[in-house]
Each structure stands twice: as structure tokens, then as C-alpha cells.
Copies of this chain bind each other. A is one copy, B any other.
């Protein structure tokens, strides 16, 4: 990641926070560029220096989180699944406003699909159906099974406003994944 001018980081950060805060109040379609300008305290014209429109802003916000998660996957590649899941859960926890907005029902179905795609993408090639417990299974079926399960649990966690701590979530989900991978 190249070094980015501090002003750019600040503006984009402010806009990403602003759109999340506004989405907590109203539908994305009802959010105007002026709303974003006011909330982020950034000139209206400045928004167009970075994003084509509000949808582009949301897309890039989503993509940045997917990329962060991809990075976490790499750095946790040789950990056991409980430890790896804990790292994920910590990321969820420290970005609660985003994931809560996107996954707790009210959010954007767009993100749910994007997230599921990402999980499938990450699992593909990681599974071995030629030996062990998964011998004889069709890889695509297994991948879809695990990814859906994982996403479902995370959705449940946010929809119910974190009924267990992120540590417990990681331990339970990690164990379940271990059983299937």
C-alpha cells in the first residue's frame, strides 16, 4: 500500500463514517450528496474527487473491508481455525458500526452477497476432498456449505446484537469449522 496524502485519508475516512451514520437514520436512496457533505464536514465538490456517487462510496467502503479480511486470511494462514476465527472476530468487533449496518437485517443485501462470494473464493482450493473426512464430497458443495454456515453465524451474531462475546463466537465457530475442513 503506497503512502497516501494525509488529507485524502481524512476526507475518505470522514465520508465513510458519514455514510454509515446516515444509513442508520435513513435509506441509502434518501441520502443526498449534500447530506454527506454536511455530515462529513467536507465540501460537496470534494466528494466527486474521490467517488462517482454515493453508491460508489458504499462500494469502495465494502471493498476496503473485504480486502482487510483477505489480508487477515493471509496472515492467519498457518494458525488453527479457532485462532484464525478469533482474529476475524476481533476485526468484526472493532468495526462494529460497519458490519452491524451491513449484516443486521436492515442492511444492504448487496453486501451479504459480496461477503458470501468472498468466503467461497477464500475456501476454494483450501479444501481436500480426496482424503480424510471430506473424501468423496463435491468441492463446490462443501465450499457452499461451509461458507453459508459461517456467514449465517456471523449474521446471527450481529442481528442479535452480539449475544456472546467475540471470543466465545470465535471459539464456537472455529470449532465448528475445524470439524468440516
Chain A: residues with CB nearer than 8 A to chain B? 6, 10, 41-43
- Nearest B residue to A9 via CB reads B41
Q: Which 4 pairs show the lowest CB-CB distances between chains A and B? A: A10-B41, A6-B43, A6-B41, A6-B42
Q: How far is the CB of A43 from chain B (nearest CB, A)?
A: 6
Would you call the interface of chain A mostly helix, strand, loop, or mixed? loop
- Nearest B residue to A43 via CB reads B6
Given the complex, which residues of B lie within 8 Å of A41, measured CB to CB? 6, 10
Q: How far is the CB of A13 from chain B (nearest CB, A)?
A: 9
Given the complex, which residues of B lie within 8 Å of A10, measured CB to CB? 41
Cβ contacts A to B, 4 pairs, < 8 Å: A6-B41, A6-B42, A6-B43, A10-B41
Given the complex, which residues of B lie within 8 Å of A6, measured CB to CB? 41-43
Given the complex, which residues of B lie within 8 Å of A43, measured CB to CB? 6
Given the complex, which residues of B lie within 8 Å of A42, measured CB to CB? 6
Q: How far is the CB of A41 from chain B (nearest CB, A)?
A: 6
